[in-house]
Structure 1
Amino acid sequence: MNTYIYMIRHGESPKTEGNDSTRGLTEKGKADAHRVTELLKHEGLGTFISSPYSRAVLTIEELAHLSGQEVLVYEDLKELLFSSEDKIVSDQEIYPAVQKMFSDHDFALPGGESISQCQNRAVAILREILQTFRGQKIALGTHGAIMTLMMGYFDNQYGYEFLMGTSKPDVYRMEFKDEELIEVKRLWT
């Protein structure tokens, strides 16, 4: 029996004040989280796992509760760390750095982590999830960069250009036979 990972990139989140990890969702983000629930409520999802960041949990929380489940939080599924501080970094600062990071996987901003480091931590957790929940359908509340790195580990077509083409939210169903990626299908429209 194959395992399905539903990568659910979080909805729109305000970048105005507070900490990066505690940012919630905008009104549009909340409405889109409800649309995610409507899209996936008949998929037979049985396990709900998320990054510890509020925006990722909030995007899948309604779907989990509708299924009578709680969201399991995995610390190592947090977004790519751009600094040692939990501060919000503007898109104008992040996007040029991310482009450089995808071209040089060992490059990191001061106090942050590289693409290689982030991918290693995330893929270790994804492999653990594939083993622990083999044969199930799993919703994974995630972020753009780390989602791209997990997908890119199994298929190198998922890189910087793919990341720049994703939306907030976004949903991709990955089908695995053991740890071999069989198919990826975008479900969000």
Structure 2
Amino acid sequence: MEKNIYVVRHCEATGQSSDSPLTTRGFQQREELKSFFKGIPVNRILSSLLLRARQSISLLASERDLPLEIDDRLTERILSTVFLNNWLDKLKATFSDMDLAYNGGESSKEAMNRSMEVVKDVLNRDEKNTVIITHGNLMALLLKNFDSGFGFEEWKSLTNPDIYHLIFRDQKTELKRIWNGWNL
């Protein structure tokens, strides 16, 4: 049986804290996100706990009369709990060294494994079409699991929002970027 997982990066937000809401543009983008899924069957929606993710997908959940299931494993990866000079360079290094972890942070491997637990749980359920809404770094690491070439540069190219489609069919997985600036 074919299963589809739509991995969505949240819409534009005012910041990175857990309670950062969407910007005015982000609220417009969530309308576009809802419109994008018109005609695409959705049986289940899983979301990060963070406000920007929940706000991004709440219209689709409401329109489809689906519960917005919160899954802590979809929360953004913490690079470090202390301020890092040159954080972008440090993040880049974690795409090469998957075990590299900074003070209080999570390694790429740990974050990837956490996100893959969600995928495995989805695949073990009956629903055929699931939307997962998360954050850029965790999304990149999840996608890297299916495409080893997905790295730092691909992370940098992600947009807010963004959507990748994972198709699971006959013991094979296909990965496609389907948002690509849709209607922006």
With normalisation by structure 2, the TM-score equals: 0.89
Distance in 2 separating the partners of 1:39 and 1:55: 18
* Gapped regions of structure 2 (runs ≥ 5): none
Correspondence 1:55-134 to 2 at 5 A: 55-84=52-81, 94-134=87-127
Amino acid at match of 2:8: I
Please state whether the residue corresponding to 1:139 is helix, strand or coil: strand
- CA shift, 1:124, in A, is 1.5
Between 156-165 and 2-11, report the one with greater CA deviation: 156-165
Corresponding residue to 1:143 among 132, 135, 138:
135
Residue in structure 1 matched with residue 167 of structure 2 by the alignment: 175
Distance (whole Å) between structure 2 residues aligned to residue 10 and residue 150 of structure 1: 15
How much does 1:94 deviate? 3.7
Q: Tell me how far apart the structure 1 counterparts of residues 41 and 170 of structure 2 sit (CA, whole Å).
A: 19
Indicate yes or no: 2:143 matched with 1:160. no
Q: Tell me which amino acid in the other structure corresponds to 2:43.
A: G
Change in CA separation of 1:100 and 1:183 when aligned onto 2, cut-off 3 Å: closer
Unaligned stretches of 5+ in structure 1?
Answer: none
- The root-mean-square deviation of aligned C-alpha atoms, in Å, is 2.0
1:43 matched to 2:40: yes
Letter aligned with residue 159 of structure 2: S
Aligned residues: 181
Question: Which residue number corresponds to residue 32 of structure 1?
Answer: 29
Taking the aligned partners of 1:64 and 1:179, their CA distance within structure 2 comes to 29
Deviation, structure 1 residue 151: 1.2
Q: CA deviation at 1:186?
A: 2.0
Deviation of 1:35 after TM superposition, in Å, equals 0.5
The farther-off stretch of 155-164 and 28-37 is: 155-164
- In the alignment, is residue 14 of structure 1 matched against residue 11 of structure 2? no
Alignment counterpart, residue 178 of structure 2, candidates 165, 173, 186: 186
Distance in 1 of aligned mates of 2:86 and 2:54: 25
Distance 1:53 1:127 in 2: 22
Q: Quote how far apart the aligned CAs of 1:106 are.
A: 1.5
TM-score (normalised: structure 1): 0.87
